[in-house]
Amino acid sequence: ASFILLCFRTSLVTPLIFGLLLQPPLTQLSIITQPNIVLLMADDLGIGDVGCYGNDTIRTPNIDRLAKEGVKLTQHIAAAPLCTPSRAAFLTGRYPLRSGMDAINNYRVIFWNGGSGGLPPNETTFAKILQQQGYSTGLIGKWHQGVNCESRNDHCHHPLNHGFDYFYGMPFTLISDCQPTETPEMDRAFRRKLWLSTQMIGLVTLTAALGRLTGLISVRWKMLTCLAGFSLLFFVSWFSSYGFVRYWNCIMMRNHEVTEQPMVTDRTTSLILRESISFIERNKHKPFLLFLSFLHSHTPLLTTEKFLGRSKHGLYGDNVEEMDWMVGQVLDAIDKEGLKNTTLVYFASDHGGWLERQEGKRQLGGWNGIYRGGKAMGGWEGGIRVPGIFRWPGVLPAGTAIDEPTSLMDIYPTAVHLAGGALPQDRVIDGRDLMPLLRGTVEHSEHEFLFHYCGIHLHAVRWHQKDSGAIWKAHYVTPVFRPLGAGGCYDRGFCPCFGEGVTHHDPPLLFDLSRDPSEAKPLSADTEPLFHTVIREIRRATEEHRRTLTPVPEQLSVYNVVWKPWLQPCCGTFPFCWCDKEGNN
């Protein structure tokens, strides 16, 4: 009887065991409930600069290895074509104008560490939710989301106030002013406008004072004092933009402490890599989030001597190849600690390459492959289509390419979901959880429409018509390229969002990206039978989207952008700000 019972149990258990063994490896997702998450973001890298996206002259073996071992997205879209708004959208999962991080004027990024604008404290980043879920959270590298609001030490916009336990890097962004041997890059047009504003406010103040003294104008002394204060503020900002930029903007911080002022650029790369690997080693025994925000490949293209002259694309190519090497060092650190199978790694760029960044015949900006346009252009694909690669061995299928519209904003719900957190219910989240698409359990992206802004100005709208496979894109506004026939705004250095430098289209320019990814041949009612239907559907979706927008304070207003001495991070006694704590000095 016992023998019969044993056989019966065996007959039940054996199929169960075989069934479990035959389950695909993707079921490991239910076992690894809180994976480590490593986010690698390049700065100004063009989609055409990476080997796995078609470049055969710049060597990127480590980024290519990520794609070979994971999933490559071919329609990965930034929510903005410039650093500050794109990164705000990445961190919050929301279009940047929802948080006030897109501009109504030409000041489209944060210009000073001593400005008062930045990512609002009431925004909830994915880092904050992961921190609440028990993750160790670290940001190494570039921030560019502001520092202070009202005083030098309130740190209201600082990474540590937005969910990161640890920060080491630049609170600002790299500019050529940071490299003493380079030509200053700080926006010359911005300087001219500052000087013009200074003169205008000064003239108004002088006129009001004379009117008060002569009795011709009735002006209170309190008003005169305010005008004089504004005049002084604008003058100090204009004056500080000459020669002081390196000391005010090119600084390194560890948490709230300034460690280098100005930064010592010769060792920045090695320090950022060391800090990244150290963070992994310190936190290997619990879930961690590491956001490695590279300073590569933004000008002035800080490149160590080991990589100079190695590429076929001059200094820019050298810089990209060094960044790829850094990616490899981080992946090796993950492997060394035995974390490869429990770590989701993501690589992307914050927006497209900067076509107009040149010095003489030297091209210092990136290449966007077959896609039209580049950095600062809110509608054209070259400004917003970026590399997007995910690797998670045993969970995501290796060597897969997905040609579906996805967004940098999708990292937010994806990371929150993997950490076991909940999305905020008191605000609109524009990102979508990518795990079903990445794992192959669904065929299509959840994004039906994506809205492409330049500042607060809607330049284009994308419609993914899933039943037909078409990806329609309507351009309402496009920049005017100069010189004629060029692919960028070489006369300005940046393409504008509004004014004389743009063309408005009514009806809009329409393209089907599934047939014309380079946006070379606009469709019309004569060449496309669905033209009016598509335009009507996109217009309906746009109106619906606009109803979800609510007014918020403008973080990039002129007042918030202008430099304020009382907000300037300072190592020492202001204005004598200088230190080198990394060099024990």
Active-site positions read 83, 144
Residue whose structure tokens are 């989030």:
289
Q: Which two tokens stand for residue 287?
A: 């879930």
DSSP string for residues in 193-205: HHHHHHHHHHHHH
- Look up residue 232 and give its amino acid: L
Residue 84's closest CA among 556, 457, 468?
A: 556
- Token digits for 130? 């992961």
Distance CA 453, CA 439 (A): 30
Distance, in Å, from the CA atom of 566 to the CA atom of 122, rounded to the nearest integer, reads 23
Residue 463: beta bridge partners? 449, 472
The whole-angstrom separation of Cα 317 and Cα 189 is 28
Alpha carbon distance 126, 416 (integer Å): 6
The residues, ordered by sequence, that sit 6+ positions from 467 with a Cβ below 8 Å of its Cβ are none
Q: Does residue 147 contact residue 311 with C-beta atoms inside 8 Å?
A: no
Q: Which two tokens stand for residue 578?
A: 């200088």
Radius of gyration (C-alpha) of the chain in whole angstroms:
26
Question: How far apart (Å, rounded) are the C-alpha atoms in residues 186 and 299?
Answer: 11
Q: Which residue is associated with the tokens 């284009």? A: 460
Among 272, 324, 265, 271, smallest CA distance to 297 is for 324
Instruction: Give the Cα separation of 502 and 520 in Å (integer).
Output: 18
Tokens for 217? 């104008």
The span from the CA of 431 to the CA of 206, in Å, is: 51
Is 527 within 8 Å of 82 (Cβ atoms)?
no
Distances (CA, A) of 357 to 18, 25, 130: 60, 46, 37
> What CA–CA distance (Å, rounded) separates 164 from 139?
7
Residue ranges of the alpha helices (H) in 54-182?
A: 61-68, 83-92, 126-132
Q: Give the pairing of strands 449-454 and 252-254.
A: unpaired
C-alpha 332/C-alpha 318 separation (Å) is 21
Q: How far apart are CA 561 and CA 529, in angstroms?
A: 47
The DSSP element (H or E) to which 479 belongs, if any, is strand 470-479
| Mode of pairing for the β-strands spanning 449-454 and 457-465 | antiparallel
Whether residue 318 contacts residue 195, with contact meaning beta carbons closer than 8 Å, is answered with: no
